[in-house]
Amino acid sequence: MIVRITAAGGVVLDDAADCKRLSVVAADRAGVGDHLAAAGAGAPLDADHVELDVAFLRAGAAGQAPPGDFDAMIAYAESKGWLSADGDRVRAHLA
């Protein structure tokens, strides 16, 4: 699953069926936080990571990811400490 931020600032979920990976690809890192916030998709965390909204990802994966794969991805992230305490956001690498 790849969250792509386009040069125009759009936020698109690519490879939504692939719940074995999660990253963010941005044409321009400078505006990542603003673009994620405007789309309701997440927020910056540090220079190399963002926090993505789990509901945004779940909605994008609906009907594309095999049953159970999305929940397994979130459970794996939680086991690694990459899920927020409230379970609403998951950390992802900014590529």
* pLDDT band at 27; cut points 50, 70, 90: confident
Kindly report the pTM of this predicted structure.
Answer: 0.94
Distances (CA, A) of 27 to 37, 43, 94: 16, 16, 11
Task: Kindly list the distances between the CA atom of residue 74 and the CA atoms of 20, 27, 37, 64, in Å, as whole numbers in the listed order.
Answer: 10, 26, 21, 16
Rounded CA separation 15/66 (Å) = 12
| Sign, CA torsion 65/71/77/80 | negative
Confidence of residue 30 (pLDDT cuts 50, 70, 90): confident
